[in-house]
Structure 1
């Protein structure tokens, strides 16, 4: 059982002996605005009820134990051990047993309500997604269709084909990519009989291969004697 001393306006001091420790609790203020402070001091077990003395220096508590008397000074919200009792007009205060005050318990925090989102354009709430439905497999991509060959472009007598291989025609000229331009020439007529006979009678130098006339005796290029 604890002891309490009342002094001033709404100020109380509680003392309790717990084993070898003295617990001092100050209580002040109105019921709506209460201040509480507690401190523990190693004094030993009590051998007699505690005493309280009020002076200009504050409240001095005397605790009698098997190890001797201990003095605790209480001034405002601070508490400390002093070596002796306060003198000079100290007034002994009455102390009586009382139950230790209990600290107000905090109310448990209420769980947060889940947030709901509504569509401002409609009062009907949106359906919640269901997490139990399996994910649909991704559809395979369709292969790309081959490109159709481009049609040849025509402009006047010019025709251009951009397909592979690239070709261009303009009149008698025909050109392909990578080929040198060439003109379509009309077919040549076969050589006449006189030209064939002249070509058959042509002679060549056996030394250097130069063309010589049938009447030449020496080669005009290398000077070799012809037979």
Structure 2
């Protein structure tokens, strides 16, 4: 047998009994986040339906089994056994029988995440990077990954020895290597 109840708008409990074991699952959900906690107790076989009571912000689950009566305190961050509490001021919470008695349901619908806004250009001193246009500038040098623009260097160097060359030079003045055009 399995039973469920909504504790709050975003918090749900599922209770199941399999043989001598009682399993309690708490599921909390917010937009884009879900947390689940499952705890098992050896209670014996249930002799009657479990009863759930609300005491302020906490809940108490009463289980009558073939061994004893058990009381479980359900708080925001945990589940623990407690001695029989005073339930005179408690409000009973309706438990709904689950269709599938072999599993504890955890189905919670999520909203899709919104796309991130474009990154703003980053600047540090005389250096700037813009990931949207894939460009980087530092001083008088620039690197641009945009296909519509090509970057040209104003300085020329020999590919053989690395010596600086004038744009009009056909051969390197240092090593004589023929310069590329």
Q: What is the TM-score with the length of structure 2 in the denominator?
A: 0.52
Q: How does 1:37-116 map to 2 (within 5 A)?
A: 37-56=37-56, 58-87=58-87, 89-98=89-98, 99=100, 100-101=104-105
Instruction: Determine the C-alpha separation between the residues in 2 that align with 1:65 and 1:31.
Output: 38
Change (3 A) 1:31 1:23: farther
Q: How does 1:154-173 map to 2 (within 5 A)?
A: none
Higher relative contact order (CA 8 A, sep 6+): 2
Q: What is the TM-score with the length of structure 1 in the denominator?
A: 0.42
Aligned position for 1:35: 35
Specify the SS of the correspondent of 2:79.
strand
Instruction: Determine the C-alpha separation between the residues in 2 that align with 1:10 and 1:84.
Output: 28
Change (3 A) 1:31 1:57: closer
Specify the SS of the correspondent of 2:80.
strand
Instruction: Determine the C-alpha separation between the residues in 2 that align with 1:81 and 1:53.
Output: 14
Specify the SS of the correspondent of 1:70.
strand
Greater share of residues in strand: 2
Report Cα offsets for 1:50-92 as digits up to 9, x if no partner: 1000012501001111122111110012000011134352100
**Divergent runs of 4+, >4 A:** none
Over aligned residue pairs, what C-alpha RMSD do you find? 2.1
Matched pairs, number: 104
C-alpha displacement of 1:37:
0.2
Unaligned segments of structure 2, at least 5 residues: 109-181
Unaligned segments of structure 1, at least 5 residues: 105-227
Change (3 A) 1:31 1:19: farther
